Structure 1
Amino acid sequence: MVRRGTQMKRIENTASRHVTFSKRRNGLLKKAFELSVLCDAQVSLIIFSAGGKLFEFSSSSMNKTIDRYEKTVKDAYGISSKDVEQNMLNGKEDAGSMEEKIEFLEDSKRKLLGHGLETSSVDDLQQLENQLERSLCRIRARKNQVFLEQIGKLKEEERRLGEENANLIEKCGMRAREPWDELQTQNMEVETELCIGPPARRNI
């Protein structure tokens, strides 16, 4: 009969969970002991139960094993537990500083949008107005620059299209129409015979 594998998830039944913990803990401690004896390995094992109870095994002194571990990690990676703690402390300080900066930026953003101005002093409002004016000047300058760039592109496109038009006219053997030709055409007078008065009678 094939034995079904245990599904790796938390055992919900409290009694079954305690029984499984006891069996697996004893088996793990036994394996750690066998590994230290058979392979002459320095083995230390620390287990905390869900209730916080400590279970441990060490083939030598637990403190010596921990000191050896810290020394090995420091030699391998250039760090120690104290360095890790210091890095964590520095990270927390940096995170706190970033939170303050984010809060300051959010407050400035709200004020720039016209919100939260009730507690602002006259000097704060004047400073905010100056900041907005400087921002508007930069925005207008950038807008004018964009307009000039677009005008330059349009002029370049106009020049390119003019050259293509001239080339097409040359290929088709057509004479380019001069501006004065168009004006002459517009100013041409149409001659017509106009008679004022009743129509002349014809003799039949």
Structure 2
Amino acid sequence: MDVHSISTPAIPQGLDEFRVVFAEHTRQCGCTLSTEKLEAILAGDLSGAVVHPSFTYVAHVLGCLLWQVQRHIFIFKHVELEQLQYLWASLEDVDPVTEIQIRYLLAIYFLLSKQMEEGENQLSTAVRLALHHELVFPVDPGWFDPMLQDATPAQAELISTLSHLMYLDRCSALVFHVPARLDSTYDEGFKAVSVRSASVSLPFGCDGD
């Protein structure tokens, strides 16, 4: 890998391997993305036509860290910092579900980097976004009935996003000895969706994996 080429806003040769690592861990990190979105991320798409650019940037950031962790070598901190700057800028125009996913992916990134306070801040931000936008599990049969039809990619992404947010919220409460931020209504919504639907992937740690 040419380290010197990884230093421009455009997608240079060298970041593709980090995106591949990220893609291999998307389900584990709580992302249920459509095939089209995942392919766009792997291609390094920053146009926003298929997937929001923040996903490509977070793939660089988290993928870079995971790549180094897997190999026990830490030589690309400058890449992480550079791509983080592009990621922060991209969040100025983003939809709530995407931003929640990006925020908790950043929480995972900072916690793995042993930046515990910043990791907690990102998780708190993700929870505030969910509450502010009143995002809930789609248990209303008028929205979709899991017994009669599969969830659309957008619905599956919402369910996965809220499920993993709940999972991280509960883990945080246990590890840091703080109250859970999401109340019991989210537990009830999660149970209703998970019991009624076998077509939606649950987050890592919630389906027996």
TM-score normalized by the length of structure 2: 0.27
Q: Between the two structures, name the one with larger relative contact order (CA 8 Å, sep ≥ 6).
A: 2
Higher helix share: 1
Higher strand share: 1
- Larger radius of gyration between Structure 1 and Structure 2: 1
TM-score normalized by the length of structure 1: 0.28
